[in-house]
Structure 1
Amino acid sequence: MGAAMKEFTLEEKLEEIEREIAQRHRVYPRLVAAGKLRQTKADKQMALMIAVRDDYRTKISQGPLFREGNAL
């Protein structure tokens, strides 16, 4: 992370959120089965990430006019 942080677009952030959700769908069942993650916690974390994704989708669908001053 030596490079300067750049500003990411809402679309880039959404893409990363969707990647993370897919990763959790693959990994969480194994963690729960191994006793390393409780199902209730996995469910809550997944629900939260999906809610964040949905917020970004809504923001993007509103278009740039409605984004100014309302960054997520």
Structure 2
Amino acid sequence: LRRLRLAPAAGRRIGLKTVFSREPVQLPDASCAAEMDGTLNCHGYGSAAVVTASFGLCAAGYVMNQLVGKA
């Protein structure tokens, strides 16, 4: 957003709410033998559906609380 000049200059808060994890990336180990097919699998970063779903539900819950005034 800052690069596109859609947000304040560096050092100032944007006010954008986010859901993220500070967990470091874990690269696949050598036991993951998958073909290189261009998808996000053992050769890429990918994501586990339960992790993606949890983050989405967290974000949706926050939005719902904002809408009903429980923030």
Whether TM-score is above 0.5 comes out as no
Larger radius of gyration between Structure 1 and Structure 2: 2
**So what's the TM-score if we normalise by structure 2?**
0.39
- Higher RCO by CA contacts (8 Å cutoff, separation 6 or greater): 1
Larger helix proportion of the pair: 1
